[in-house]
Amino acid sequence: MREQSSTFNAIIGSTLAVVLAVVGLFFSLLTLERTALYGVLKAVGASTGRLFAGIVVQAVVVAVIAFVAGSALAALADAVLPAAVPLQLTTGRFVFTFVALIVAAVLGSAISLRRVTRIDPASAIGSSS
Amino acid sequence: MTDPSTPVAAMPDDALRFEGVRKVYRSGDADIVAVDHASLTVGSGEIVALLGPSGSGKTTLLSIAGGLLSATEGTVVVGGKDITQFGARELTEFRRSSVGFVFQSVNLVPFLTAEENLVVVDEIAGRRGTGPKAARARARQLLDELGLGHRAGNLPAQLSGGERQRVAIGRALFNSPALVLFDEPTAALDTTTGGQVMELIQSELRSRHTAAVIVTHDSRMTHYADRLVRIVDGVLGAGEPIEAGTGTAAEH
């Protein structure tokens, strides 16, 4: 039993790691995709701090919505799946997942923000010369 | 209107003054000189066309004037203030309130309406100024003036290219800057629409007595300016007066 349990834990752990990496990458790309937009906002007077605050708020809001949707799906799975399936929802896991999700989202966004802070607005805007 | 035949003397109320501005980019081990010892004065309310081929350094010069890029050497005075001495915070405030920008394309926030694209200039600064209501009223009035009153609630994707560029002009004028910088404002437009946009730019600048630098590689666009300055390989030519309405000085 114990061996089975540790195998399951290893699977859950690596799945979670992959999920967090994907989430981080998603937010990183989301920020990168908008480099030109941030360049324009900088040109019309947005400070880097202001842009950063906006990006973090955006990441947290999306992550919270995703967490609520994910939790609902987990609860649904718990209710629908037969009792033989080893699914255990604990408050501790919810809290851990929530914190990890927020951290991944903010970190992912922040990594790209390094590029945003260094934006040369002229090139971000796609000028010709 | 400034008499185009006489170069404008350096006056305290000059909109823009470049003195020996140099911009060098490091690329690997090589130094690339984008702008070389440029000196240029744009008088209050004067419209200067900066004409040059791609890669001539004209966008770099425009970016330096707008506080987006820092000069490697030289002095840049906008509205009497030497912006080369500004820190990051001062530059942010300078870009928000002292200059306006119009880029060649993709420059509106896609998920905001025309009106919100104007108001955003105040909102992103975290400064509501006279309050959001007043800002919205001001935006609406400006859009009316630009012939876009009926389009105020439309998203950029619902507007034509010319309309989008007019919204961008509105955004540049929103905080009543003394200097507006245009980077190829008609490059993404067809000739007819481009001409209409240039006429609108000219009349808006004149009525507000706002100075402008208009970067272009299209010599047809230069006759909307008071003076033409050519730039080749980062070096500015002497200013050429433009004969009203003909654009002869601009022909190649």
* pTM listed for this prediction: 0.79
Nearest to B229 by CA among B59, B58, B9: B58
Is the pLDDT score of B221 beyond 50? yes
CB atoms within 10 A of CB A32: 15
Any long-range contacts for A9-16 (C-beta under 8 Å, 24+ apart)?
A16/A97, A16/A100
Q: What pLDDT does residue B125 have?
A: 67
Task: State the pLDDT at residue B1.
Answer: 47
Coil, strand or helix at B111: coil
Mean pLDDT of A19-40: 86
Q: Which of A70-79, B23-32, B83-92 has the lowest mean pLDDT?
A: B23-32
Distance of CA B48 to the CA centre of its chain: 10
Please state the rounded mean pLDDT for residues A65-91.
87
**Residue A122 pLDDT exceeds 70:** no
Counting Cβ atoms within 10 Å, is residue B64 exposed (0-12), middle (13-18) or buried (19+)?
A: buried
pLDDT at B126: 62
Taking the Cβ of residue B37 and every Cβ of chain A, the question of whether any pair is shorter than 8 Å is answered with no
Count of A-B CB contacts under 8 Å: 83
Give which of B23, B63, B233 to mutate to test A binding, by max A Cβ within 10 Å. Answer: B63
8 A C-beta contact, residue B86 and residue B97: no
pLDDT in tens, B125-163: 665 556 678 888 889 999 998 999 899 999 999 999 889
CB contact under 8 A, B54 and A43: no
* pLDDT tens readout for residues B6-46: 444 445 578 899 988 888 888 778 888 888 888 888 998 99
DSSP B236: E
* Better-predicted residue by pLDDT, A121 or B161: B161
Residue B57 has pLDDT above 60, yes or no: yes
The first and second tokens of residue B108, run together, are: 């509106």
Among A45-49, B3-7, B159-163, B214-218, the minimum mean pLDDT is found in: B3-7
Nearest to A50 among B95, B126, B183 (CB): B126
Quick count: other Cβ atoms within 10 Å of Cβ B196? Answer: 16
B158-183 burial string, b = 16+ CB within 10 Å, else e?
ebeebbbbbbbbbbbbbbebbbbbbb
pLDDT for A73: 92
The answer, yes or no, to whether residue B2 has pLDDT greater than 70, is no
Average pLDDT, rounded, for chain B: 83
Burial zone of B186 (CB within 10 Å; 0-12 exposed, 13-18 middle, 19+ buried): buried
Confidence of residue A4 (pLDDT cuts 50, 70, 90): confident
Residue B245 banded pLDDT, cuts 50, 70, 90: very low
Chain A residues bordering chain B (beta-carbon distance below 8 Å): 36-37, 40-48, 50, 120-122, 125-129
Instruction: Name the DSSP class of B82.
Output: E
Sequence-distant (≥ 6) Cβ neighbours of residue B141 within 8 angstroms = none
> How far out from the chain centre does Cα B125 lie?
20
pLDDT score of B9: 47
